[in-house]
Chain A
Amino acid sequence: MITPQIAMFLILAAVAVAGALSLILQRHPIHSALSLIVVMVALAGLYLLQGAEFVAAVQIIVYAGAIMVVFIFVIMLLNAGEEERSNVSRLARFVGVPLGVVFLVEVAYWIGRATSHLGGAPQEMVSTRDLSALLFREYVFPFELTSFLILIALLGALVLARREESD
């Protein structure tokens, strides 16, 4: 029985996977970045399907909007050209590819086991008010810690990127 929700899920999932594949297979950095944007937007759609409207909007604003604009900005600034396609090295062919396949199967297996008895999608949207109450009351410490961590990373990047004063 295919409900509209399942149909939407299948479409969005297919778009996300196709975008991710295209991200790896494209030879031009800008095309890869565009593929990544498609993945982000498809993920936002999946969040929306789960009733997380705020998360979906923020996913688009922050990831598809701000972060990917910086990616594209840097690619344009460096004027990066198409990449040469090289043959796969022997090490990658005989060790890397099999290991990758094993890892993929393992992850798929465990995710499949863990989510086999989950219920359907929630019928109602999670309101932003509930979300913020959860974030700023129950999980306020991890939340603040995360923002502190990001701040430290930001400062670190600034210090590293700053030019030495010649005096």
Chain B
Amino acid sequence: MNEFAAEHPLLVVVLPKVVILLFVLLTALAYLTWFERKVVAHIQARWGPYRVGPHGLLQPLADGVKFLFKEDVTPAGADKFAYFLAPFLALSLAITSIAVIPFGPSGMTIFGQPTPTGITNLNIGLLILFAITAMGVYGVALAGWSSNSKYPLLGGLRSSAQMISYELALTMSVVGVILMAGTFNLSEIVTSQQGFHWGIVPRWNVIGWPMPQILGFLLFGTAAVAETNRAPFDLAEAESELVAGFHTEYASFKFAMFFMAEYASMITVSCLATILFFGGWLSPFPQTPLFAWTHYIPTAAFALAGLALFAHGVRYLTIFGRIVLPVLGVALFALGVLFIFPGVNGFVQGPFWFLLKIAVFLFIYVWVRGTLPRFRYDQLMNFGWKVLLPLSIVNVVITSLAILLTQR
């Protein structure tokens, strides 16, 4: 097997990684819709999806099937080519960007072949991500224009103007991090954040040395929400003004593709925020004998979650739930037990902390959507150009000054 892998690294190592990541990502996208609906519902004192499966767990599946069987209408007078191109462009670009994200420390080995944890490790990973984000606007703009309808056109116009404005602030806000790390390589940016202040506080960029990037992080977070067209910056699909904005005329699975693209870019942005400002896959605890117990946090988390789910599941309302939930609980518990074994334990540390941090950011995304009212269009433009952009330039100047002073 090892010789075969050495001869065909593309077939044996890269292709399976792509397939697995794609599978995980698409499942995550589906359950992110469930997660968002649940969290927003609880913010608004509702229950959210509850009927399809226990706690609505099969709702994404039902939605997917529904999307597939709906009639796919093309509006009269639509520009056919652009109308079909737009959803494909949106989804494929949004998914592509996951390829450069490192999920754990480099140096995974599959069949004797060293390979990065993640699909690829590029020297210009960050730039490629921004390039893909920059192209992402065409999906929205073309969808709005090609539908031959007034509300989508307005949505498309708004979104292209908004994305131009906020992309500047987004790119400028990470320059501070690049200056401190001295590289565009996402893996190296993470490893540059190793170490601890006073042996206990992690030196992640957000509280890093010589210049904590708190301002940079806040600017990045704000611009990123706008860049992904999410509330409170979802002017492109403001349902109270534009019906559904740029995707008003899209039905069936094409609509689902826009939906998936939006969630995929949410995941990408959360990954990026984690990598750039919160130490990526690095554990928040020092790697000293005193903190050796922290290696069993993944085990404890999974096992406790499994137990809780089991205890809750056996008393669930429906019979179906009384079967599914305990089984899920047992599976989680088994995973937790699996994480005790030394080899597995070492491997899951990176991805565990990384995914945990991403989950926090995804929650914040939904939280913000559930609590903040939408901006007005002129407020949005003023905020982008007169507040975010100047502040991000100030951040760059201060950070470079701090680096210059500490290097002397």
Are A and B a genuine interacting pair, yes or no? yes
Asked whether A102 is an interface residue with its Cβ less than 8 Å from the other chain, the reply is no
Counting chain B CB atoms within 10 Å of each CB, which of A58, A60, A64 scores highest? A60
Least CB distance, B145 to chain A, in whole angstroms: 5
Question: Contacts A66-B164, A76-B160, A127-B123 hold; do A30 and B134 have CB atoms under 8 A apart?
Answer: no
Q: Is B163 an interface residue (CB 8 A)?
A: yes
In the assembled complex, B141 has its CB within 8 A of some CB on chain A: yes
Chain B nearest CB, measured from A81 CB (Å)? 11
Q: Which of B82, B124, B135, B156 makes the CB contact (< 8 A) with A65?
A: B135
User: Given A53-B124, A76-B157, A128-B124, A66 and B138 touching (CB < 8 A)?
Assistant: no
- Taking CB atoms and an 8 Å cut-off, the chain A residues in 65-99 that contact chain B are 65-66, 69-70, 72-73, 76-77, 79
**B124, B157, B163: the one within 8 Å of A77 (CB):** B157
A58-B160 in contact (CB<8A): no
The answer to whether the Cβ of B161 comes within 8 Å of any Cβ in the partner chain is: yes
Bitwise, B106-140 to A at CB < 8 A (1) or not (0) is 00000000000000001110011011001101100
- Mostly, the A contact residues are helix
Nearest B residue to A125, CB-CB = B123
Pick from A61, A76, A127: contact of B130, CB below 8 A: A61
A31, A53, A64, A125: the one contacting B135 at CB < 8 Å is A64
Q: Could you tell me if A54 and B82 are in contact, using CB atoms closer than 8 angstroms?
A: no
* B184 CB within 8 Å of chain A: yes
Q: How far is the CB of A14 from chain B (nearest CB, A)?
A: 20
The smallest C-beta distance from B316 to any residue of chain A, in angstroms, reads: 49
Q: Is B167's CB within 8 Å of the partner chain A?
A: yes
Residue A43 at the chain B interface, CB threshold 8 Å: no
In the assembly, what is the distance between CA of A9 and CA of B253, in Å?
Answer: 36
Question: How far is B163's CA from A125's CA once the two chains are assembled, in angstroms?
Answer: 31
Chain B residue with Cβ nearest A53: B124
CA distance A60 to B141 in the complex (A): 17
Q: Across the interface, do A69 and B164 meet the contact criterion of CB distance under 8 Å?
A: yes
Contact of B145 among A30, A60, A125 (CB under 8 A): A30
Name the residue on A nearest B129 (C-beta): A57
Q: Which B residues contact A (CB, under 8 angstroms)?
A: 79, 81-82, 122-124, 127-128, 130-131, 134-135, 137-138, 141-142, 144-145, 153, 156-157, 160-161, 163-164, 167, 171, 184
What are 19 residue pairs bridging A and B, where the CB atoms are less than 8 Å apart in the complex? Answer: A30-B145, A31-B82, A37-B138, A53-B122, A53-B123, A58-B127, A61-B127, A61-B130, A61-B171, A64-B134, A65-B134, A65-B167, A66-B134, A69-B137, A69-B141, A73-B160, A76-B160, A77-B157, A128-B184
- A residues whose Cβ falls under 8 Å from a Cβ of B: 28, 30-31, 34, 37, 53-54, 57-58, 60-61, 64-66, 69-70, 72-73, 76-77, 79, 125, 127-128
